């Protein structure tokens, strides 16, 4: 079946690196995504990676993709209190996104 799994909570100290992990199911997914959702808000596209890539870096964000294990991770360097939010990974199957349940990142000063 289609299931994207994430751990539910992550707590880090300001200035540390955060690593949010995700496993997905469909090896034919062309793109994999990370979205950020702040309380009461919509989904903000943080980054996405094409399935033929292993890594993508964008400023403080690094995405690693392990296709063999169907594992995706998002590393946030120098985590700030403004990074506190829920982070969703998603895979695209045909025309639709399949989301995980979200990881709530709490950044403590």
Residues lying near other proteins in the complex (CB under 8 A) are found at 4, 30-31, 33, 35, 41-45, 48, 50, 88, 90, 92, 94-102
Nearer to other proteins, 94 or 109 (CB): 94
Nearer to other proteins, 5 or 16 (CB): 5
Residue 67: CB atoms within 10 Å:
15
Nearer to other proteins, 53 or 77 (CB): 53
- What DSSP letter does each residue of 80-101 carry, written as one string? -GGG-EEEEEEEEETTEEEE--
Token duo for residue 32 = 């994999």
Rounded Cα distance between 37 and 63, Å, is: 18
Q: Max CA-CA distance within the chain?
A: 42
């Amino acid at each position: 079946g289609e299931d994207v799994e994430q751990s539910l909570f992550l707590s880090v100290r300001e200035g540390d690196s955060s690593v949010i992990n995700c496993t997905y199911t469909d090896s034919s997914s062309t793109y994999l995504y990370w979205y950020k959702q702040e309380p009461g808000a919509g989904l903000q596209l943080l980054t996405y990676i094409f399935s033929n890539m292993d890594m993508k870096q964008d400023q403080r964000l690094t995405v690693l993709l392990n296709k063999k294990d169907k594992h995706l991770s998002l590393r946030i360097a120098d985590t700030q209190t403004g990074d506190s939010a829920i982070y969703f990974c998603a895979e695209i199957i045909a025309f639709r996104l399949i989301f995980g349940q979200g990881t709530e990142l709490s950044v403590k000063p």
